[in-house]
Amino acid sequence: MKRRGNTIELPVFTDFEDLQLNFESPPTLKNNCARAGSPATTVTTHLANVQRTTPERHPRYCFASTTGATLLRNSRIAAALLFLLPPGIALCQATPVEPVPQESQPAQTRNQTQTQTQAPAQTQSPTTTPATPQKSLPEAPSSTVIDPNEKILHQTPRIMGVLPNFTAVDSNTRLPRLSTREKFIVAMHDSVDYSSFLLVAGLAGKGLYSNTIPALGTGPAGFGRYYWRQFTDQVSGTFFTEAIFPTLTHEDPRYYTLGKKGFFKRSSYAISRTFITKNDRGTNEFNISEIGGNASEAALSNLYYPTAERGFGKSAKNFATQTVITAGANVLKEFWPDIRKNVFRTKDESPPRP
């Protein structure tokens, strides 16, 4: 071993046969350097030559050097990743991502939102400018006058305050058709109005006084038996003739006052309304509602009258009685405006109808 300045030269063996390595007791640097006749070189050159020329003769040192080189490369790659990845991740997080508009969103919607944001004054214009009031549409007239040159005789809801008169129509007047609901409302008014209860009470008192049906008895109990049967007759007949049958046949159950020409002409007209009536189209036809309703009421009475008052004969008599009463009621309706004006001295004006 020689020393030149700051460098120490060690002997290097060119032939590995001269270098006997004992792995159980590996040679030391001191013993190797004591060998004579070997050229001197640096420690670094010696280790490089040993690794390059005899890898199989030195497996321990060869494995150590290979592992060291691999670790060195891996450490360099890891260092590069540590220096490059954090800035890239931070840059990606700091850069805002603009939302991509969906293709299915129509362009008109986007334009509409832009115009709404750009022109906010348009939304405030209704508050500053008062809106012009809109004119309400005129309501459809409830009735029309047929002949302006003819006078009008006005009807009232009740005759003398005790007889229901809800189906009577003023003379020289045309009304719109009744709906099914309105037909049942008219029948209800005729059935449950206070005048109807008074009329039923009068009929029950007459039957009790004349002992028309002896099986019903006398006294207050007999009056009660007469009363509820007369009331059932009145309600069932009203609904049959003014609601149920007119709905099925599309007929008008109202009585249209003639109001002109002579007494006999008006009386015959009133009686004929028992068999002739107007339909929902405004034309005349056979009054199925009145005839069929009276027949149905007479047949229904067989369910609650005594046995002696039942049967076809009694039902036919009841039907004929109801038909005659209807004809008489029509005549009274026809002349009731004249009676009010001439007898009771009531002004001929249209009173409020319920």
pLDDT along the chain (354 residues), means of 10: 52 47 47 45 49 47 50 59 53 46 45 47 42 38 82 92 92 94 94 92 94 93 95 95 96 95 95 96 95 96 93 94 95 95 77 48
CB-based contacts of 65: which residues, under 8 Å, 6+ apart? 51
Domain ranges of the chain: 2-57, 146-342
Q: How far is 136 from 149, CA to CA, in rounded Å?
A: 31
Helix, strand, or coil here: 9? strand
pLDDT of residue 216: 94
First to last CA, the chain: 141
Helix axes 194-210, 180-192, angle to 10 degrees: 50
pLDDT of residue 213: 93
pLDDT of residue 310: 93
Whole-model pTM: value is 0.59
Give the long-range contacts of residues 58-65, CB within 8 A, separation 24 or more: 58/21, 60/23
Q: How far is 310 from 301, CA to CA, in rounded Å?
A: 8
pLDDT of residue 73: 61
